[in-house]
Structure 1
């Protein structure tokens, strides 16, 4: 309510000190020219009209009787209004692009996390379906143990460890792929 009052007071103060008929004449004479000039910059009729209104509001707010060449002032003001608009639009698009990229990255990483967790669950389920010896063979192998250490740990012949790991790995892969197919 307070802001409206300030704007209202300012408008009426300007109206009292200015010749409204003269301003309307300036507006009617130069508005189409200003809009055409702005169209060269912004390419949209509605945007050009909005910017033209801004230019004429600026003209109304100052003492236009002190301006020697009103058409030149309007041309210069329209150019600055258009350049400010273009600069602001560019910044807005850059912010939007960065936000979209950030959102995309967050979504992708969230999606990747969900997929990774689901895959971990499938790995655990597939391991649980292996017998204890097959599970231990794979766990020791992928924990970095050498065949000799695996043979000692599980009390197996070292020569058979490689074949047993290969069989366990094939069985695990088959279980995992079957479970993955069921979950999709």
Structure 2
């Protein structure tokens, strides 16, 4: 049975399986409207690319509806994350820091600079390069070390910086 060849067969499969597919999608995505759209998408995929074995139709529908539902959930999660980031960005842009916040930020920067100055030269360079966006390979080239050493070097430098911060902070 090749589903696209027979519209009657497809209609029969659609009317038989649609309620189950839609119910499973609604339970997965927890959105009735989205479940309707996603169920239609599943049956469109069935119409365009039916399973080779008609006996495996139920399993095929379950696999496709699950994948379609998870793709939808992942898309929604990415959209929420993007929206959150945009809100943070626009809120930060809309309200300039108060005088107190600016002074505290300046003091924190000065503390970090002082702690960095107390680090050995190679540790300080490694941290500054990594903070500037350099890759491990680029840092290795700049410092004259092998790339696998960079991770260890950065970890140790970070620990030293944290230790210095802990010693100077009340």
> What TM bracket, shorter-length normalisation?
0.5 to 0.7
CA shift at 1:67, angstroms? 4.0
Tell me if 1:28 matches 2:15. Answer: yes
Return 5+ residue gaps in structure 1 as ranges: 1-13, 114-184
Tell me if 1:105 matches 2:92. Answer: yes
Tell me if 1:87 matches 2:83. Answer: no
* Aligned position for 2:43: 56
* Aligned position for 1:77: 64
**RMSD across aligned positions (CA):** 2.3
Is the 8 Å Cα contact of residues 51 and 60 (structure 2) preserved in structure 1?
A: no
SS in 2 for 1:69: helix
* Aligned position for 2:27: 40
Is the 8 Å Cα contact of residues 55 and 78 (structure 1) preserved in structure 2?
A: yes
> Which structure 1 residue ranges, 4+ long, deviate > 3 Å from structure 2?
63-68
* C-alpha distance in structure 2 between counterparts of 1:53 and 1:77, whole Å: 12
Is the 8 Å Cα contact of residues 67 and 73 (structure 1) preserved in structure 2?
A: no
Return 5+ residue gaps in structure 2 as ranges: 100-170
Number of residue pairs aligned between Structure 1 and Structure 2:
98
* C-alpha distance in structure 2 between counterparts of 1:104 and 1:69, whole Å: 52
* C-alpha distance in structure 1 between counterparts of 2:90 and 2:16, whole Å: 49
Alignment of 1:108-147 (within 5 A): 108-109=95-96
Task: Calculate the TM-score normalised by the size of structure 2.
Answer: 0.53
Deviations 1:37-66 (A, max 9, x none): 001111111100100000000000014454
Task: Calculate the TM-score normalised by the size of structure 1.
Answer: 0.49
* C-alpha distance in structure 1 between counterparts of 2:77 and 2:54, whole Å: 32
Deviations 1:136-162 (A, max 9, x none): xxxxxxxxxxxxxxxxxxxxxxxxxxx
Bigger Rg over Cα: 1
